[in-house]
Structure 1
């Protein structure tokens, strides 16, 4: 993906084998004869000025705003399907130039879901939450192994359990929560047994069930089995470091100075990066050691260790960071002993 930023941040996830199995702003992607451009809305009344209560876009927005932790705003765009229609394939690339993180769509057609999920996976900066009432479609989606698409399975999809899930969790501080165990306002639990629940999970989906008398989301995973919050945290750290260092460059220009290509300038770039990592730690993304020390580290070699060709090109490509993800407890095993004396 082309970018006008001067900062490139890449991240790889290193994990043991086998695998143990605005940043919350939603975008609702709809479709209508005339279509409507991308627009932000702060509440459901504002949505209704453009999308009447009988439209699918309104229903998705209502599910988001009905939750206990709704986002400060959401965006809606409606793809034109009438004369001179806009195809989904043509529209999708333009969406990644807009301000949003979680994509919700009004369609449940598996071909559309695959097209959207492929685009989100390729872009590597957003997440897609979909819904379906078809286990056959789940199998089709599961075969793609998406890290950035999560699916909630429910026999009733007209009230948007996917949008409700994003509304309940997506806007909370990144890294502070997982996506498992959330109560969704307006969504009825599925009446299923443990065998069917296991089968749904095996198909790469989540659902909505009753546990210990409370209605909750059954898991918090993407199609691949990766945790939704891990991908969200990864995106947050990459974007935040990119933003922080770019802001450092911008402020230097505003002050009519520069970031010198010496150890002073390198230290400034490292400091900006470490500030983001410390914030990520405070939000719960990064683990601690036995002494409570955050488990992250940065390595920014001094000028003397930088390739002279990069110095001549005014390019410092050698900064690195690493951290240990905090994760979360989703299951527990507890054993006890009964004694008679």
Structure 2
């Protein structure tokens, strides 16, 4: 017989967090048998299910071909070519884990169908490709905020998927989608006038600047910057998750100033993390420009307290944005 010790030691092995960021890429398309939501950690895994000449493999290759910037994981979903439609697939896509969408089809009807659904859902970003300027004009007329189009005369190698592969796994707010170098994509041989015309059509492309091959812009069709949409979604969904987790783990979040402070604390934690990512601007004293305002219990509508709802918390912050152009003046003294 022995007596149990007073000391218990437990050791957990901490494994590195996968480099997913807030933006897992998802390839959507169609096949004869279809495919339920499936994730792949590398190109070898994709190759087991898709031949190298398939559109799915080509899109996956473009994503995973971005070296150390490539995401740790992608998702693929396909609808059956018979008996199912793209609309059927999109109904399922938004319930799955996948933020940046890329389609195996670059047909105009499919691009607009996906873009319409993404716009209405309001939680994803869609990157399309096109080699047709007439199609660019049609898409631009829709003024999509959550769809970006990559124009290239050679679009069969999925330049937009390469763009996602380069940028999607970075921390939200940590980079701009302009001036990124993409592996496997050849720059367009165009002049400034043609580049401006592409931008005026609401699209982005790939060009050479100062000897480097880089993406020409980082905007959605509406003219909004992709990193701003990414940052906005990150803050919104991170706060929703953090506060919900608070409710889940606490036996009770009291309806008093202590409970309200707990909620505010979760919001501040997300904003601090956003600041560390480079998302939030700093003032002249290098202090982050964000704030929270949460009314104390005494100032809350009694009707809300009776319903156990707290609706008087708010936050604000200034996006750091990015410098895309500059003009510098100088003086030569004789």
TM-score by length of 1: 0.91
Q: Match of 2:27, SS?
A: strand
| 1:51 positional shift | 1.0
1:338 shift after superposition:
2.1
Q: 1:294 aligns with which of 288, 293, 305?
A: 288
Q: 1:98 aligns with which of 96, 99, 102?
A: 96
Q: Which residue of 2 aligns with 1:88?
A: 86
Quote the offset at 1:339 in angstroms.
2.1
1:79 and 1:333 map into 2 onto residues whose CA distance is: 50
Q: Deviation string for 1:158-198 (max 9, x for gaps)?
A: 10000000000111111000000011100000000100000
Q: 1:249 aligns with which of 239, 247, 266?
A: 247
Distance 2:56 2:77 in 1: 8
Q: Are 2:254 and 1:260 aligned?
A: yes
Contact 1:147 1:223 in 2 (8 A): yes
1:63 Cα offset (Å): 0.4
Which residue does the alignment assign to 2:125? 127
Cα shift at 1:280: 0.3
Given that 1:27 and 1:100 are in contact with CA atoms closer than 8 Å, whether structure 2 keeps it comes out as yes
Distance 2:170 2:89 in 1: 29
Q: Aligned partners of 1:296, 1:30: CA distance in 2, in Å?
A: 41
2:269 alignment partner in structure 1: 275
- Counterpart of 1:324? 318
Structure 1 partner of 2:42 = 43
Deviations 1:182-235 (CA, angstroms, capped at 9, x unpaired): 111000000001000000000000000000011000000000000000000000
Q: Which moved more, 1:29-38 or 1:52-61?
A: 29-38
Question: Which moves more between the two structures, 261-270 or 310-319?
Answer: 310-319
Does the 8 A contact of 2:78 with 2:89 survive in 1? no
Conservation of the 8 A alpha-carbon contact between 2:143 and 2:221: yes
- 1:301-340 map, 5 Å: 301-340=295-334
Q: 1:235 aligns with which of 221, 233, 236?
A: 233
Gaps of at least 5 residues in structure 1 are 1-21
Q: Is the 8 A contact 2:77 2:93 kept in 1?
A: no
Which is higher, the Rg of structure 1 or of structure 2?
2
SS in 1 for 2:298: helix
- Corresponding residue number in structure 1 for 2:3: none
Q: Secondary structure of the equivalent of 1:237? A: helix
